[in-house]
Structure 1
Amino acid sequence: MSNKHRFLRQAAAALALACCTVGAAVAATTITITIVNGNAPNVGFNDPTPAQPVGGNSGRTLGAQRLIAFQHAADIWARTITSPVPVRVAASFEPLACNAGGAVLGSAGAVEVFSDFPRAPKADTWYPGALASKLAGKDMATPGEAHIRARFNSRLGLFPDCLPGSPFYLGLDRQAGEQIDLVAVLLHELAHGLGFQNFTDEGTGEFFYGTPSIWDHFLVDIRNNKAWVNMKDEERRLSAIGGATLSWNGERVYKAAARILSPEPQLLISGMAAGRAGGKHPVGDASFGPPLGQNAVTGELMPLIDQANGSGLACTPLSPANAMAVRGNIALVDRGACPFVTKARILQNAGARGMVVMENTGDPVSPLGGSDPAVRIPAVRIDKATGEQLKTAMYRRSRTSSGVIASLGVDPDKLAGTDWVRRVRMYSPEEYSPGSSVSHYSVDTRPNQLMEPSINPGLAHDVIPPHDLTFPLLQDIGW
């Protein structure tokens, strides 16, 4: 098929948690992004529910504010990418999967993928429709088809069975607070549609209709430095669930990472009682409290025990014995039962110098969320295996001393979210997560990146360096 182009339709990839005309006239340095409103009257973008202007969004109805936010996100992308072919986005707000504890915010992806088209950089390789059109210099889409299909959750935060109390924030000013910033979600999903997604089945390792995608040329397994395009199906399947084993081997992302990412946070364990727990341990840092730095906060590590099963939750004021144990030390507590900021405040009030939260599942470490300006001690999360190892090391402690020294700081020689040669890692959890695995950056990039599998608070509405690594990856694949 090297002498003619071919195409196939591709289902949109979902952003799972817990994801009209826009632009100026076509020119060499701009792109037109057309939003095709797919909602019926009185729903979604056409919802007539009255709304007050918020954060620079002047819409007077819920539907109008949604459309203005979408236009704002599309404008950001229109100022960033170039193409002689306008991009069409079929978009709608509609009910998506959700419950009281979590929700799908939205989903988006390429409607069609193409290979072996005129001027394709790589033969026998799938490219998303919008990118294929740019590279070919003509619209490759089936007449009447959009390049991108995008859906967003119309019920989010508005009903008791759909993440109540956490609706989309429709302002344009990044002041979402505890709400979910719709503009950030829109930027994320539009990136998927432009090509920040793999078309290979990560669950089986099978290429889409036997052909690799452009993504597979850049995705590399850290353990053997082997690209996905050169692997067999089973190798790819296992690589997708390796846990911190995949990296992006693209020049644009590699160069930009040094400008954007911060040193990797770490927990350094030492002391006469440390035993096998000694050494460096990866951590998830906190969105609250002071940031970790090269001047590490150091102290003896002491476990908190306030539950009958021997765990410590720190959700209520500490007993005198526990307060004495953590005073002037770094406290080890278990995850659960109350917010992380609550635990930190209680430990801080008891005189602890820092907090280490032990995960209660086998998941990789991830950040500690929350916001509280009153918290002044550093906090990190460690995985369950590390926590159990530390508890074993502290088994013969006294009431005020464990002989295990903990230092909360950063590794100046390693960038957060990168492998040993500073390639940015991709999301490869130990259990396959459809719609999230592989087609996102790792959750431990710092500062948080737009294209992590979950939308983090405080994201800049930006897709380029020096704030963000989204556009450099799209440049690597051809944008």
Structure 2
Amino acid sequence: MTIVNRHAGFAGACLGHLARIAAIALLAVAAFATIGGARAATIQIINENAPGVGFNDPTPALPVGGNPGTTLGEQRLHAFRRAADIWASHIVSNVPIRIGAAFLPLDCNATGAVLGAAGAYQVVANFPGAQINGTWYPSALASKLAGVDFAAPGDPHIIARFNSRLGLFPDCVPGLTFYLGLDRKAGSQIDLVATLLHEIAHGLGFQTFTDDETGAFLLGRPSIWDFNLVDNRRERPWVIMTEAERVASATTWRGLSWNGWNVTRSTPAVLSPASVLTIGGENAGAAAGEYAVGDASFGPAIRNAPVSAQLMPVVDQLNGNGLACSALSATNALAVRGNIALVDRGGCDYVVKARNVQAAGALGMIVADSVPGEVAGMPGLDASIAIPSARITRADGWALKAALQNRSSDRSGVVARLQSDPVRLAGTDGRKRMLMYTPGVNAPGSSVSHFTTEATRNLLMEPSINSDLRYSVMPPRDLTLPLLWDLGW
């Protein structure tokens, strides 16, 4: 048996994965007896916090959302127990799964924070019950398949860390906190149970152990995760690609798909038709054509409220941009009334922009990104918003603004139509396979080990927690459990 410890920090501004991996390769294959018949899993929580902090924080807490805890620490632990029980009811293992968990100060600033990070504490290869030899499996899954606990007595299978500073300190996203209720009513706060469900899934195996920055396999072996990835541009499995090819696919937008059968057969039941922006009209010029868009979590879904109208920009900044962060001026209100408003990202929440252009009479809103990158959705909740909204890339925003240069006060001659794609499901490739998260610049801890942010509906295993998640891990609301089935669960 070979054991290798690997250390890595909690990187990135979104949900990442593990801090430490112990890799175990069983060189001699022995016969292990299974333990009884199949049953729902048992998940045990190992409280790794010191007295007085984290799960042991004695700060008094008022009842919230069915959480019976009377202190901050107790409420955190009850939320963790709820998430663990949800997962235990969906997976099968005769080996109890242990999670070493703690609330600790993680990376945080005034505008962003790491919510949490988790992953497998050990990976195991060449064991009885492995579907593919010479392949890394997370220890919880390996133990389930072999029917024997590969972790040392008292050691966890999963290690998980969550941000103890979120919203509690002025330099850590003031005003944004973990919602500790168990009733899915987090509103504008971060639902801790949903965050925990996400991170536990990473520990169960929703992650690669291959280095997505270098393309190198861990100790020369691929992981079971890697066998389910395919470069959809050339239909080449990840495991047969070179390291350089893997790096390229990990940073190619819409270039990497999940090829597992369980996820692919489930996408039509879970995902909605993709939204698309079509530009035309007598003044569209070179901007005419179709544009990929990210959907909004607020307002009506584009598939239910397609809209077609003149595209008109909001201009309320000296540089020619329009943020729409306050009530529109008379000039801008005239421009967008009865039209689709083009605004720029930044300055305020997306829902604020939508409220302001809606109040001015706009029929829809398109938000042009302020930084380079791929399309992404727009989070937020506001039941008063009745117009559809979509987000486009910065480059596409520039192209549309160029076409809008010759316009009158209320007409541009550029017609925008937001509608559903008649063929493609949101978040899938042309074969209805789920796309993975592969931004153009590698995001350590996020790239490859999450679903794309283009999915609609929002999914649990996107790289950030969305406000409309409903504690579901399976169809018709989610694809996380089918992916774990593809791994062997």
Q: What interval of TM-score do these two structures reach, taking the shorter chain for normalisation?
A: over 0.9
- Are 1:184 and 1:450, in contact at CA under 8 Å, matched by a contact in 2? yes
For the pair 1:229 / 2:207, whether they are aligned, the reply is no
Equivalent in the alignment of 2:212:
202
- Give me the identity figure in percent: 57
1:143, distance to aligned residue in structure 2 (A):
3.6
Whole-angstrom CA distance in 2 between matches of 1:266 and 1:15: 33
Give the secondary-structure state (helix, strand or coil) at the position aligned to 1:259: helix
Equivalent in the alignment of 2:21:
none
For the pair 1:72 / 2:82, whether they are aligned, the reply is yes
Compared CA separation, residues 414 and 81, structure 1 to 2 (3 A): same
Give the secondary-structure state (helix, strand or coil) at the position aligned to 1:104: coil
Whole-angstrom CA distance in 2 between matches of 1:35 and 1:123: 30
Whole-angstrom CA distance in 2 between matches of 1:281 and 1:371: 25
Give the secondary-structure state (helix, strand or coil) at the position aligned to 1:445: coil
Compared CA separation, residues 12 and 127, structure 1 to 2 (3 A): farther
2:138 aligns with one of 118, 122, 128? 128
2:346 aligns with one of 327, 336, 345? 336
Whole-angstrom CA distance in 2 between matches of 1:317 and 1:141: 59
* Equivalent residue letter for 2:215: G
* Equivalent residue letter for 1:360: S
- Are 1:13 and 1:107, in contact at CA under 8 Å, matched by a contact in 2? no
Equivalent in the alignment of 1:85:
95
1:363 aligns with one of 367, 373, 378? 373
1:13, distance to aligned residue in structure 2 (A):
8.4
2:426 aligns with one of 412, 416, 421? 416
- Are 1:201 and 1:207, in contact at CA under 8 Å, matched by a contact in 2? yes
Give the secondary-structure state (helix, strand or coil) at the position aligned to 2:225: helix
Give the secondary-structure state (helix, strand or coil) at the position aligned to 1:71: helix
Equivalent in the alignment of 2:402:
392
Give the secondary-structure state (helix, strand or coil) at the position aligned to 1:214: coil
Equivalent in the alignment of 1:180:
190
Equivalent in the alignment of 1:431:
441
1:400, distance to aligned residue in structure 2 (A):
2.2
User: Structure 1: any 5+ residue segments left out of the alignment?
Assistant: 20-24
User: Structure 2: any 5+ residue segments left out of the alignment?
Assistant: 16-34
- Which moved further from structure 2: 291-300 or 242-251? 291-300
Compared CA separation, residues 74 and 10, structure 1 to 2 (3 A): farther
Whole-angstrom CA distance in 2 between matches of 1:125 and 1:13: 24
- Which moved further from structure 2: 351-360 or 310-319? 310-319
- Are 2:305 and 2:388, in contact at CA under 8 Å, matched by a contact in 1? no
Equivalent in the alignment of 2:281:
271
Compared CA separation, residues 13 and 196, structure 1 to 2 (3 A): farther
| Corresponding residue pairs, total | 470
TM-score, normalized by length of structure 1?
0.95
Whole-angstrom CA distance in 1 between matches of 2:134 and 2:195: 32
For the pair 1:308 / 2:318, whether they are aligned, the reply is yes
- Are 1:37 and 1:91, in contact at CA under 8 Å, matched by a contact in 2? yes
Whole-angstrom CA distance in 1 between matches of 2:387 and 2:176: 27
Whole-angstrom CA distance in 1 between matches of 2:183 and 2:277: 35
Give the secondary-structure state (helix, strand or coil) at the position aligned to 1:36: strand
- Are 1:425 and 1:441, in contact at CA under 8 Å, matched by a contact in 2? yes
- Are 2:118 and 2:161, in contact at CA under 8 Å, matched by a contact in 1? yes
* Equivalent residue letter for 2:45: I
1:136, distance to aligned residue in structure 2 (A):
0.9
CA RMSD of aligned residues (A): 1.7
* Equivalent residue letter for 1:243: W
Compared CA separation, residues 186 and 130, structure 1 to 2 (3 A): same
- Are 1:37 and 1:92, in contact at CA under 8 Å, matched by a contact in 2? yes
Whole-angstrom CA distance in 1 between matches of 2:173 and 2:317: 29
Equivalent in the alignment of 2:20:
none
Equivalent in the alignment of 1:404:
414
* Equivalent residue letter for 2:409: R
Whole-angstrom CA distance in 1 between matches of 2:231 and 2:417: 31
Deviations 1:130-150 (A, max 9, x none): 001111111122343211111
- Are 1:13 and 1:192, in contact at CA under 8 Å, matched by a contact in 2? no
1:315, distance to aligned residue in structure 2 (A):
2.2
Equivalent in the alignment of 2:483:
473
2:466 aligns with one of 431, 434, 456? 456
- Are 1:240 and 1:246, in contact at CA under 8 Å, matched by a contact in 2? yes
- Are 1:312 and 1:333, in contact at CA under 8 Å, matched by a contact in 2? yes
Equivalent in the alignment of 1:166:
176
Equivalent in the alignment of 2:18:
none
Whole-angstrom CA distance in 2 between matches of 1:73 and 1:418: 28
Paired residues for 1:2-401 under 5 Å: 8-9=4-5, 14=10, 16-17=12-13, 19=15, 28-293=38-303, 296-401=306-411
* Equivalent residue letter for 1:341: V
Give the secondary-structure state (helix, strand or coil) at the position aligned to 1:208: coil
- Are 1:15 and 1:106, in contact at CA under 8 Å, matched by a contact in 2? no
1:27, distance to aligned residue in structure 2 (A):
6.0
- Which moved further from structure 2: 322-331 or 414-423? 322-331
Compared CA separation, residues 32 and 273, structure 1 to 2 (3 A): same
Give the secondary-structure state (helix, strand or coil) at the position aligned to 2:101: strand
Whole-angstrom CA distance in 1 between matches of 2:195 and 2:329: 43
Whole-angstrom CA distance in 2 between matches of 1:421 and 1:337: 38
Whole-angstrom CA distance in 2 between matches of 1:255 and 1:86: 30
1:415, distance to aligned residue in structure 2 (A):
0.6
Whole-angstrom CA distance in 1 between matches of 2:125 and 2:90: 25
Whole-angstrom CA distance in 2 between matches of 1:143 and 1:379: 53
* Equivalent residue letter for 1:248: W
1:377, distance to aligned residue in structure 2 (A):
1.5
* Equivalent residue letter for 2:187: G
- Which moved further from structure 2: 315-324 or 466-475? 315-324
Compared CA separation, residues 234 and 197, structure 1 to 2 (3 A): same
- Are 1:244 and 1:428, in contact at CA under 8 Å, matched by a contact in 2? yes
- Are 1:58 and 1:65, in contact at CA under 8 Å, matched by a contact in 2? yes
Whole-angstrom CA distance in 2 between matches of 1:390 and 1:7: 56
Deviations 1:356-412 (A, max 9, x none): 111011121111222222222211111011111111122222222211111112113
- Are 2:39 and 2:94, in contact at CA under 8 Å, matched by a contact in 1? no
- Are 1:13 and 1:109, in contact at CA under 8 Å, matched by a contact in 2? no
Deviations 1:443-465 (A, max 9, x none): 01111000000011120111111
1:16, distance to aligned residue in structure 2 (A):
4.5
Whole-angstrom CA distance in 2 between matches of 1:245 and 1:178: 33
TM-score, normalized by length of structure 2?
0.93
Deviations 1:245-294 (A, max 9, x none): 11100000001111100111111112122223222211111122222116
Deviations 1:418-453 (A, max 9, x none): 011110000000111111010000001111000000
Equivalent in the alignment of 2:450:
440
- Are 1:283 and 1:380, in contact at CA under 8 Å, matched by a contact in 2? yes
